[in-house]
Structure 1
Amino acid sequence: MKNTTSSSDFILLGLLVNSEAVGVVFTVILAVFVVAVTANLIMTFLIQVDSHLHTPMYFLLSQLSIMDTLFICTTVPKLLVDMVSKEKTISFVACGIQIFLYLTMIGSEFFLLGLMAYDRYVAVCNPLRYPVLMDRKMCVSLAAGAWFGGSLDGFLLTPITMNVPYCGSRSINHFFCEIPAVLKLACADTSLYETLMYICCVLMLLIPISIISTSYSLILFTIHRMRSAEGRKKAFATCSSHLTVVSIFYGAAFYTYVLPPSFHTPEQDKVVSAFYTIVTPMLNPLIYSLRNKDVMGAFKRYLHVAHELRK
């Protein structure tokens, strides 16, 4: 037990126990991965090239697409490789890198979704001052703050996790190096660290949730005072996509990091983790594009220009 081989590999047990379903699940995950990466790249490209989308909301949305692309690329390629290979190992260093990138991306999305709620508050409640309050400098500062907040989470938790002594079994009952699954292999008392990590994760959720709750409370109050039915409809349409994404993403994160361990099983944890690391990055661009006339209009304009250039 004292011989902690921190340089040896871990073994990822994977997403499935039943090997008979590997082929079908591999195909589904690969399809979701391709759709997610393609949709997010298209979203980022359209926002960059179409002048109609050069607004604060779409700038923040482009940052969300970049985060989603990096987020899904952190876990899924390794998962797909493990599903078709006999060797399911991951080196100690690679596991640490995966933990850092995962924490950075999920933390950055937490903060960015909160800041996007503030953007919607300014747009609905202070439309005349919107160009001043949400100028280019402010947008860049908000995006940089989201990235910094997420990376801070990664820099704080990753070194502690990887310095915990691991001995005995090296098999992680998960499809990627998620901290709760990795800590189960520790041969030291990690209760203090798990408590600190719990507090850190709660704060990471509370800060953006507070921003979202405050922003949407003020938005609902403003909508209630609107006399125009068309104005109310437009305001609801402006916020509905963001609320949908927030509900999905924060709901899964709340289950993983806030609910006590007694509510968890390894199988449930893997399903929930698969949902917000694989499915959510695909849903985000689809929700924003399919329910957004500006994005669909930009896509049609680009197809028209591309068609004209081919002639």
Structure 2
Amino acid sequence: MPAQAAAADDAAATVAASAGTSWAETMRRKFDLETYTARLTTQLPALRTTAAARGADEAAALKAETDAQAVMDKAVATERTMYARHAGAKNAAKLAKKALVAAKKQKPASKTRVAKATAAVKKADDLVKSRAVIARTSTATLTLTRTRHAAAAKKLAAATTAHDTAVKTVAYAEKRIASWPKDRAALAAQATELSEAVVTQARVKYSTTQVYGVTVNRVVAFSFQRMIDDAAKAGVKLSGGGFRTREQQIALRKSNGCPDVWTAPSSSCRVPTAIPGRSLHEVGLAIDMTSGGSTINTRKSAAFKWMAANAGKYGFVNLPSEPWHWSITGS
């Protein structure tokens, strides 16, 4: 075989070999995203309530910070005024002391004048002392208001962060919920696109497992189990017949009266039955669905109606001529 042809065959085999894994992973992502979106949808009212509450907390914190700022500004102004008055008292005391010195030097000496000047000095010194106390008190008050404002500002920052986080959480949830239909369609389309390659892979190599007693290809096992579980939650009991060996397919062809096991078309049998080697049952990718122990052989049944409405979510498509037959390609 030419090297280029061999390389092309190897590439095709690699694509086919990865198809089953990709299909299964795509379906798992779809289910996980569906579950996550449903949870967000349930949580959204509470998330909105939380965002509103955090908004109210932020508004209250802003008011408290604004009030604390106003008190602090007033304390700053008061301190400035008190220290200005203290400075004025100190200047007045200096002038009183100069007046006392002048009174003592004045001739003729006057005890009365000196006594008045001495009294004025004492009064001025007392005023300096009292205003110094008031000034120090204003400083202490300002320090306290600054501490309270810092605490209020810290609470406001925390409230703002909490509100912003809550708002972003709501926005994310709303965006995620809104994008779900588009994401779901994209993942479903991706799985559909892979389905033929999955069949190609299975024709070469596959493995099976059991899901509630039904033998299926491992690629579809998770999706099939999810479908059975969800149907049960909806009150519809589903089961079916999945994998068949080549021998079982030959025996079924014979029992269904096919004119020739190997060449007669499926439609020529009493019950449509694929030629051995062509049935997806032989690779575990098709299931003949049953409900309550009976084959789903009519489209009027509750089980078929549920399947028709929901099976596509799990990657299964009906063969139009057989209400019971579902596979990942519809064949």
Higher strand fraction: Structure 1 or Structure 2? 2
- TM-score for both structures, normalised by structure 2: 0.20
RCO greater where, 1 or 2, for CA within 8 Å and sep 6 or more?
1
TM-score, with normalisation over the residues of structure 1?
0.21
